[in-house]
Structure 1
């Protein structure tokens, strides 16, 4: 099937696809942006959320499989990085077209502990405090009661998404055999660049690190799609053997 290469985008915990709403304008006709909405939120709010890696990959292969008919790349942010990583491994195992490049943003590789994921998930009030302290929820969430919107709507989604992230990290798996680009926010204390760089051990096909201004949620800023456009536009002219561990700031 003819058409531009696709870029599948996977959101962070507790989110939907709004972070990617303006990306198509940036890429124009060069690449088709495909934001992927996990069940249990926004237009899929009536569907049960997924916390099991096997069920997740089955869902993604079923819904996205027909769209892998042309060259594509994956971008995942925080939780979405592990979703993208799992999908890249799953398509290889099912003999489907593999991505040209996997881009992992604001996430630590599975072999490093993540400050976002507690050893045991605490009660709602404690989890809420942790999320506010980490900047995932506004401070106003601490001021509302248990019947407030953050408790009733946001917290259950984030809790299940964090469980999914923990399960995906635990599932691990062997290295990818496609090139990986990792992106870190220069002010991100949750996934700092020197640790994000460790994704280089998770691929056999070349690795690069880029840094952008911003904290853990730099996906909401306008610079990231510009960076990805530059990287992905240049990629067809770069051989995998030429991509070695490196870093740069934008």
Structure 2
């Protein structure tokens, strides 16, 4: 059951946000934003998920209400911070969802949770990214502010009004550069994988996620790997919120049912 301690921990700030509470008991989904993204990027998705999931949204340091904290430049440190913050929820099987950079952070959190004392994650949904073992250093973290924002504009994930606001861009740029530093300097531990199943989502016109690199997620689970293709580019999830929510809820239900069948007391 979702308890008051869990809900209080999600509302006080720090690493975890919760915008919508489910009706009654519901399986828990932890959502990880893209590079440069904040928890509010998942507000619409959280609303769509609230009928069937307790959606917890990760807030990385260095943005929005955590702007006074330094953004982390190491992906392992990001994962460690999330794992510590999830302590109130690790007594139940969690499902993790991450888009773009968030998919790799979610994967590293899953690896750590599987080594912990709790039941480990029930499943992992990865979106808009190549597998962790695929090298992805394009030198984005070395770009100047103007080049960095042009890159984000090309991804079609940054509103034009934001790109036109120089003062706002100066506020956003440090966290964005830190995120790309974390992602581009990340090296997957050779031979590592997770025990839980992975479901992969991708836009059918995403130029930043080569098909071969995306399919290599199958190498990183000892369970099943499934694929779902959505219409759209890198940020298809912003245009396909309801469809994405329905797919996540289906995967979430399947993951939890599978976990309970194999581990009734977990």
The reply to whether TM is greater than 0.5 is: yes
Name which of structure 1's ranges 183-192 and 90-99 shifts more when overlaid on structure 2. Answer: 90-99
Matches within 5 A, 1:133-152: 133-137=154-158, 148-152=166-170
What residue number does 2:73 align with? 51
Distance 1:228 1:96 in 2: 23
Native 8 Å contact 1:184 1:192 kept in 2: no
Cα–Cα, structure 1 residues 31 and 132, in superposed 2: closer, same or farther, change >3 Å?
A: closer
Distance 2:171 2:199 in 1: 33
Structure 2 stretches lacking a partner, 5+ long: 3-24, 260-266
Name which of structure 1's ranges 189-198 and 154-163 shifts more when overlaid on structure 2. Answer: 189-198
Q: What's the offset of the Cα at 1:109?
A: 1.1
Aligned residue pairs, count = 235
Is 1:213 matched up with 2:231? yes
Native 8 Å contact 2:27 2:252 kept in 1: no
Native 8 Å contact 1:24 1:33 kept in 2: yes
Structure 1 stretches lacking a partner, 5+ long: 240-250
Matches within 5 A, 1:66-145: 66-114=88-136, 117-118=138-139, 121-137=142-158
CA deviation string 1:70-100 (max 9, x = no partner): 1220000001001101100111223332111
Secondary structure of 1:22's aligned partner: helix
Secondary structure of 2:245's aligned partner: helix
Name which of structure 1's ranges 152-161 and 227-236 shifts more when overlaid on structure 2. Answer: 227-236
Cα–Cα, structure 1 residues 11 and 119, in superposed 2: closer, same or farther, change >3 Å?
A: closer
Secondary structure of 2:185's aligned partner: helix
Cα–Cα, structure 1 residues 8 and 211, in superposed 2: closer, same or farther, change >3 Å?
A: same
Distance 1:143 1:18 in 2: 20
Match of residue 200, structure 2, among 169, 182, 192: 182
- TM-score, length basis structure 2: 0.78
What residue number does 2:215 align with? 197
Native 8 Å contact 1:4 1:31 kept in 2: yes
- TM-score, length basis structure 1: 0.82
Is 1:227 matched up with 2:243? no
Native 8 Å contact 1:75 1:104 kept in 2: yes
Q: What's the offset of the Cα at 1:161?
A: 0.7
| Root-mean-square deviation (Å) | 2.6
Native 8 Å contact 2:90 2:119 kept in 1: yes
